[in-house]
Chain A
Amino acid sequence: MRIAIVEDDVSQADLVRIWLVGAGHACHTFSRGRDFMRVMTRDSFDLLVLDWELPDVNGDAILTWVRANVREPVPVLFTTARDAEADIVQALKAGADDYLVKPLRKQELLARVEALGRRARPKPRAAEHLRVGEFDVDVDRRVVTRNGVEMELTQKDFDLAVFLFRNVGNLVSRGHILESVWGRTSDLNTRTVDTHVSRLRSKLGLVPENGWKLTAVYQHGYRLEQVAPEQRPNGTPSQAA
């Protein structure tokens, strides 16, 4: 997952980062709440790890801002040395999905992060298919079919399709797509994303006439959405194969 860590204590941030990266996640660290909120207006993450006591904005205020301003239901894990029942209740009522009391324990942190990720974006088991509208994605065989007809996709096209189908309705940033499909160490830039998204739109016919919209959002990224039959240009459900 692509995870944002908002934590002002350098040692704490180092610790969480090394544990999460070791578990295969891509992490972005912010030591100031306002820096994070500024980035969050044009970027996206699979999960947020929020400290409560920050020097500029408290974690609960950030949480409230995220819930008010970020359309996607990104899971939030609160971490704090506050352990009073009232504090835990306050964080959960403000919109946190889970709460961990510091000092953190590695295996517990990783297990809670995985659980939040599972809840937010259920993945099919390898042998299962991901079914989205008329598309059927066989994750194990790496095959996408539309109304039973196999689509011709490259390896990257397939990875990008799976990422977008798992995020239908969500606004995902170019950086998020790049890291999730090409990996954190990739030296490619976000134009690569634009090129591949454009190609995938054509290959899969992700256009309103077919009941899909794959929209570029200025200074942010892309959103894949299904279009209701009555909102399609031709007013009929998709028959495309």
Chain B
Amino acid sequence: MKRIIDATLRLAPGILLVFALAVGGWFFSKWLQSIIAVAWGRSLASTVIVAIVGGMLIGNLVPLPKVFAAGIGAYEFFLKVGIVLMGARFLLMDVARLGGIGLAMVVAEILFSIAFVGLFARLFRLPDKLGTLLSVGVGICGVSAIIGASGSIEAEKEQTGYAIAVILLFGAAALVVYPLIGRALAMSDKAFGVWAGLAVDNTAEAVATGAIYSEAARAYTTLAKLCRNALMGFVILGFAMWYAQRGMAKQVTRKGLFLWQKFPKFVLGFLGLSALFSALLAIFPAGSAHSFLVTRIGALKNYSEWAFQLTFVGVGLRTTFRDMVRTGVKPLVVGVAAEAAVAVFTIGMVFLVTDMLPTL
């Protein structure tokens, strides 16, 4: 019991701050939109952008006391709850179809980024393990993959910090650069969404990038990103075994258990709710029970929107540019090259297969 009270006290200030900013930002955004006359100005004042930019301004300009740190860090929890709740509004069939093609694209993307980053890391003589961490971060899902991999390949703490800083820096850049490229190329919501999900590294930033483009794009981004997250364990296991073979890390003894431990469990929650609501809609294809279900799915969508809104405030607050510039030039150069290469590779793939993907 004491543990729960301690955790609550530790998390409460930051979470309350994030809540206050999310709700305040939402009203502020609506007010801004009501006074802006031009359409592009209104889209810049969207609730998503106001949450992220507001968070960034406060995170970088206001010296926040340390009591807020733990609660601000909890935005990852809201992200995951938001994704689990999102499961309710996707039919399992669509998830399976998109997931099948998505997984194939993700495998290609991961192989490409591991090969490319590995090559560049050698060229710039980065330490092997830093190179691995960067390629895992770029290839799969940013921060959680890096943390997962750094334990398994026994990387130095400093290298882990570097790799995370690089990934976060590019996440922040992606929020601005990707939507601009998408608009310039007049990409559809589907194409842009899948692209952002494949190419933006960290889950929170990927979902935010999709959301900045459009609500429809965000749905595709989230699904594509989940495919990447689901493969995290396999890639980390591969690297762990490779380093173990060269005597640079411990052997992995129970591989099945290892894969299960590294599997992002919230994906199961997403799939579970998708299965449940798909089954209910199939049982009640019409009539009052059906329309009741539709209103409930709408209500759950609202909850998931708010969970994402909290996430976006957290992403903004966490993006402190001061910490990022300490990264050093070499990992940054490798990062720039890798991100650009992955972006080009994945946009090519997306243009090839977009027509094959189901419309959500």
- Whether chains A and B associate is no
- A residues neighboring B (CB under 8 Å): none
